[in-house]
């Protein structure tokens, strides 16, 4: 298994008042640091939703297929896919992409485990540095 760098961003923000699934998906993505005000045409959001839909059908999609489905250039799709790969939300298998797990609840639990592992590693390194510095 290839261990790649993973960047997980968590932003704590109030949940939307509307009970609309699109608003809640946008809120979830914002909390995960995926979406920003720079994404004026919501291209990353649209890609994220398409990956959720395709996962429900058990499909892995190429960047070309994803770009075509959401009306993006391949370059824009790849740019966003790289961000999703870096965050650990999406996995790649032979140039085909899918949501890392079967559903969003499991995804959040997996990210929680990733964060816990990273914090455990940092704690151990901090302990070693403290010992070395005798503090």
CATH topology (fold) of 21-133 = Arc Repressor Mutant, subunit A (1.10.10)
pLDDT per residue rounded down to tens, the chain (135 residues) = 455 689 999 999 998 887 789 989 999 999 999 987 777 789 999 999 999 999 988 889 999 999 999 999 999 999 999 999 999 999 999 999 999 998 999 999 999 999 999 999 999 999 999 999 999
Q: What are phi and psi of 93, to 5 degrees?
A: -140, 110
Q: Of all residues in the chain, what percent are helix, strand and coil, respectively (each to 5)?
A: 55, 5, 35
Q: Record the tokens describing residue 78, joined without a space.
A: 């790849």
Tell me the domain boundaries of the chain: 21-133
pTM (2 d.p.): 0.85
Residue 76's nearest CA partner among 105, 44, 104, 109 is 44
């Amino acid at each position: 298994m290839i261990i790649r760098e993973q960047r997980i961003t968590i932003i704590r923000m109030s949940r939307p008042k509307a009970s609309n699934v699109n608003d809640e998906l946008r809120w979830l993505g914002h909390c995960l640091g995926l979406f920003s005000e720079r994404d004026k045409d919501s291209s990353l959001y649209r890609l994220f939703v398409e990956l959720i839909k395709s996962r429900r059908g058990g499909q892995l999609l190429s960047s070309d297929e994803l770009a075509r489905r959401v009306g993006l250039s391949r370059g824009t799709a790849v740019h966003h896919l790289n961000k999703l790969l870096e965050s650990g939300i999406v996995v790649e298998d032979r140039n085909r992409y899918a949501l890392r797990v079967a559903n969003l609840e499991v995804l959040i639990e997996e990210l929680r485990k990733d964060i816990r592992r990273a914090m455990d590693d940092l704690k151990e390194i901090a302990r070693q540095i403290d010992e070395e510095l005798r503090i």
